[in-house]
Amino acid sequence: MTPFIGQGDYDTRIKKSREFLTTGNKVKLSIKFQGRQIQKPEFGFQLVERFKNDLAEICAPEGTAKLIGKRLLITFTPVKNQKTNMEKPSLRHKIKKSVSSRFQVTKNGKVLRESSLTDTYVVKNPKNNYAVLKAKN
């Protein structure tokens, strides 16, 4: 994002950031100064303050905004007391996105394949948190 971002683009960034923060993820705001814009860094700091105020109820900044080269960087984390409202995507939801277009997924995370007539189920691998589809014996 640049310090002179349009209102529609800014609203889209706020909406996407709100989605990330409500699922428990961090948001890194990076403002890129182009050309002579670096001579007026206060516009970037004003944009950071505007961003903070718009998302104040669901996030808190980690430290202060830092100007590194031609970029102004700051990271936002979700507020701890909002933890009850956070909706982490379940393993079933992740599987459903990738598999549901081809197979039927049950409530328990089982994937039913019509062509092979065998049930498969999802096992969470503790080493790397990836889902593995295994055939039911």
Residue 82: the pLDDT is 46
Round the average pLDDT of the chain to a whole number and report it: 78
Residue 44: the pLDDT is 94
**Residue 60: pLDDT over 70:** yes
CA 16, CA 70: separation in Å to the nearest integer?
Answer: 24
Domains and CATH numbers, the chain: 7-84 (3.30.110.10), 91-135 (no CATH)
Name the amino acid, one letter, at 125: N
Closest by Cα among 24, 19, 32, 14 to 73: 32
**Residue 92: pLDDT over 70:** no
